[in-house]
A = this chain, B = another copy of it.
Amino acid sequence: MRIGELAAAAGTSTKTLRFYEDQGLLPAPDRTPAGYRDYRPDVLSRLDFIRRGQAAGLTLAQVKQVLDIRDDGQAPCAHVRDLLDERLAEIEYQLRSLTVLRDTLTELREAAIPVRPDTCGPDQVCRYV
């Protein structure tokens, strides 16, 4: 399987595949005599795992950690659980921050509905912010 076919099959780009290899997420594939990358079909499931990891909000570096453990012959379950915990905590934090920001912005926005440039003092940039 050449890189273009793999990219098409996986729904990604050749650039991305070379990038993943460079980052250690994909093992270096065999090469044809001409030097072309020659993939075995089972990298597709690996790519699928990478995508699921990303969909779960993990960074490529974190996905790589899991793959490394797995490649080492161990079960990454515990590590995965910790990663999910970490990510979950981050998300909760982001959710709280965004909610506060949304409420602040909504207030500002409400105040800005009656646009009254005349009430902007020359000393200030904007009444609303």
A-side interface residues toward B, CB under 8 Å?
45-46, 49, 52-53, 55-58, 66-67, 70, 74-78, 80-81, 84-85, 87-88, 91-92, 94-95, 98-99, 101-102, 104-106, 108-109, 112-113, 115-117, 120, 123-129
Between A and B, 28 residue pairs with Cβ closer than 8 Å are: A45-B123, A45-B125, A46-B125, A52-B129, A53-B129, A56-B104, A56-B108, A57-B105, A66-B125, A66-B126, A66-B129, A70-B125, A70-B126, A75-B117, A75-B120, A77-B112, A77-B120, A78-B115, A80-B129, A81-B112, A81-B128, A84-B108, A84-B109, A88-B106, A92-B102, A94-B94, A95-B95, A95-B98
